[in-house]
Chains A and B, each alone.
Chain A
């Protein structure tokens, strides 16, 4: 449709307005001029750094250093992406052939460091780090990685995204449905739900660190009061099994208001007559939602899916303020690692390599989403 419109207008210009060519030139020049501040800034602060990061990832550039920059090929990426399995068999007493047990009666395994450190028989494992270990019958399958923390960051980031996107999207829709009413006082609720969005993430993170405090945090106190003291305080951010969930919880709390508003805007574009018609046809609330509301929200849903996904991949501030990636790397993320390596440890080349991998990941996910949510017949 749009294409047709434009070409029609162009023709009209040619036939009716002889000076159209020059007017359009001035018009487009004005357009470029007006866009130029934004384009310059984008070039300077987005495109150029991006290209630089791509180049730096193949060097040993340091943030500050008197040493010259050297091209190192794929070394940074090799370290980032190397993953090798190592099967460990139980230690067996060579004389008896019986497995050696430790004090607790558990099977013992040779230490991983005997393979990865100064062992010329296993050059392929040299310098690798233990990432994760699976049991494989009596054997242990150890996954070694060139950079175990990066691998953990990668999986934490994916996990966070996979949990947050559906949860935050649906919670936002639920809130939007609740407040999409013309009753008295609804604006108060809209304001309350939206409030966390306008508070800085740093401030929110600090507040939630208090809330999650292991001894006398608000959350533990509330749970204790509700259960009449039966609840054992949990060190939410200090426990590897709860830390990521704690970050997920507060992240959703902070951001859900924004998506609620987007959903709300989507809801209000659906003409009321459709609901009236559906009601006349005898559709109940659920049927109205499935057949009127949801199809009407299609574009909104795509927008929300994409924005939450992007935001979730970029998880950084909460981590930086609340957990610094700990405990035991349970909350470290790709962006956090890129900043850690690139700035705090001043290895800008390695940080750039992480960014490039991050970019590739986001790009792939975005393309998949684009494909899945494409318009019919496109």
Chain B
């Protein structure tokens, strides 16, 4: 479901051996929104409950079948955990029986769109957080009917709301942070920021210049430009938001004018471009293998990366590794939020059962199982306490705090689907030297034209 770790290619032979493995994911190496379950180390340590595939047959034959689509084909750990949840649910009552079908992540969204066009959606679907409003608006999804108070303690990013109603809920979230080494920062006299007192714009920029100036690193900051796709809006639009810009104007959701091409966004664009002009960060042609290994090899001083990559870095640097909050560029520190979530298809005849299943899945033990299995941030504090990594004092506890303190979901509008692609292209073009104002103007126009031709996506 996510890029298989690229092996650095030293030779032709190396590449040839990669073909088979890299074929599908390399085309779009970027994981989706929250490039969720990634790393092998996490997976191998999984303490996930073992599957009991046979137990579904044990349930009564006259139970109503609930079909479910899931995006995680090929990910054993996820499958094991989800199978366990389904088996537990099927065994817990006799009215419903959930049957799951897996899809590869690369083609999952297309499959759902095609299924919807054909009127052929399952009862339960999973949906990428920022895409949900589009599907809800398009009429594929029905609002959830969960018990009162179910979501009270959930991280805000795990709750998918559209038009005032909850349509999807996630068992986990993801968060990004600046990966850094304490020893490197201290050696260069750079202050170690905290959530309460993050780096300011000037501090952060000066730190990058200092680190680049040491000559010890190829680049001061690895932004992950190799991960094309959803990574761009997920990881970089929060930086723009911290300047005061945004992908669309969240007060109306009818235009991007003044937000994506306003003075704050242009200031962000100029700084973004200067990162590459000054050689502080690898450009858009960064190799996926460098993204995977650059920080761990010590070739990049800092890395803007997600919690799913944390375990590999901890393994390498141990206590020296720190996860730092996003800098405050003027309008507060912000990181992205919302990963894959569960929802119900509008056409489902068995919405009651589908809701019962989602309600059942939202138990702390399952949240914790996913977290332990694939390194994700559990959706509740009580589940976090059950996990290895996010429990108080755990090595990744800080990500839970970051999610709580800084998370801002991507604009919850159906326009996001297209706007995300426009945003990605604009940032790549600016990184490659395009005129900042012209590029942001063009992006604004394109997003506005899209909103216009959809009659405001229901916001008018």
Contact = CB atoms under 8 A, between A and B. Distances in A.
A206 B9 CA distance: 12
B432 A65 contact: no
A116 B435 CA distance: 15
A63 B19 CA distance: 33
Interface residues of B, number: 48
A327 B290 contact: no
Contacts of A209: 26
Interface in A229-279: 235, 237-238, 240
Interface stretch (B90-98, B327-335, B396-404, B448-456): B448-456
Interface of B: 8-12, 15-16, 18-19, 22-23, 26-27, 110, 113, 116-117, 134, 137-140, 228, 283-285, 287, 290, 417-418, 421-422, 425, 428-429, 432-435, 437-438, 441-442, 445, 450, 453-455
B19 A206 contact: yes
Given A207-B15, A321-B27, A346-B418, A66 B137 contact: yes
Nearest to A112: B438
Contacts of B139: 66
Contacts of A202: 23, 27
Nearest to A344: B421
B454 A62 contact: yes
Interface in A285-334: 320-321, 324-329
B27 A206 contact: yes
B290 A215 contact: yes
Contact of A328 (B18, B418, B422, B434): B434
Contacts of A127: 445
Interface residues on A, range: 35 or more
A352 to B, nearest CB: 14
18 contacts: A64-B117, A64-B138, A67-B455, A112-B438, A129-B441, A202-B23, A203-B23, A206-B19, A210-B18, A210-B287, A218-B15, A238-B284, A321-B27, A324-B228, A327-B428, A328-B434, A345-B418, A347-B418
A214 interface: yes
Contact of A326 (B12, B140, B284): B284
A217 to B, nearest CB: 8
A326 B428 contact: yes
What is the predominant secondary structure among interface residues of chain A facing chain B? loop
B285 A327 contact: yes
Given A63-B113, A113-B441, A346-B418, A214 B285 contact: yes
A60 interface: yes
Nearest to B433: A328
A207 B19 CA distance: 8
B285 A238 contact: yes
Nearest to B448: A127
Contact of A64 (B15, B116, B284, B438): B116
A329 B430 CA distance: 12
A67 B454 contact: yes
A147 B22 CA distance: 35
Contacts of A130: 435, 438, 442
Given A113-B438, A210-B9, A325-B425, 17 more contacts: A64-B116, A67-B454, A113-B437, A113-B441, A129-B442, A207-B15, A211-B15, A214-B287, A216-B9, A326-B429, A326-B432, A327-B428, A328-B433, A343-B110, A345-B422, A345-B450, A347-B450
A60 B290 CA distance: 43
Interface string A332-359: 0000000010011111000000000000
A235 B283 contact: yes
Given A203-B23, A346-B418, A329 B287 contact: no
A320 B26 CA distance: 11
Contacts of A320: 27
A129 B116 CA distance: 36
Interface string A144-188: 000010000000000000000000000000000000000000000
A251 to B, nearest CB: 17
A251 B417 CA distance: 32
A321 B229 CA distance: 12
Nearest to A130: B438
A117 B435 CA distance: 16
B63 to A, nearest CB: 32
B445 to A, nearest CB: 6
Contact of A340 (B10, B421, B429): B421
Contacts of A346: 417-418
Contacts of A329: 429
A203 B19 contact: yes
Nearest to A236: B285
Nearest to A63: B113
A216 B428 CA distance: 22
Contacts of A213: 9, 285, 287
A372 interface: no
Contacts of A240: 432
A98 interface: no
A111 interface: yes
A336 to B, nearest CB: 12
Given A240-B432, A327-B432, A328-B434, A148 B442 contact: yes
A111 B285 contact: no
Most buried by B among A63, A320, A346: A346
Interface in A123-141: 127, 129-130
